[in-house]
Amino acid sequence: MNLRLAAIALLLGGCATAMEPSEVRAVRDFVALSDLERVDRIRLYRKPAFTYVNDYFITASVAERHYLVEFNGRCRALRARGLSVSTVDHRLDLSYLKVPDTIRGCPTEKIYRATVEQLVELKELSKSAANGASVP
Beta bridge partners, 66, equal: 61, 114
Which pTM does this prediction carry? 0.78
Q: What is the pLDDT of residue 13?
A: 43
Contact 42, 111 (CB under 8 A): yes
The model's pLDDT over 58-99, given as tens digits with 9 standing for 90+, comes to 999 998 999 999 999 999 888 766 676 667 776 778 888 999
Amino acid letter, residue 34: S
The domain limits of the chain are: 21-130
Handedness of CA 20, 40, 51, 104 (dihedral sign): positive
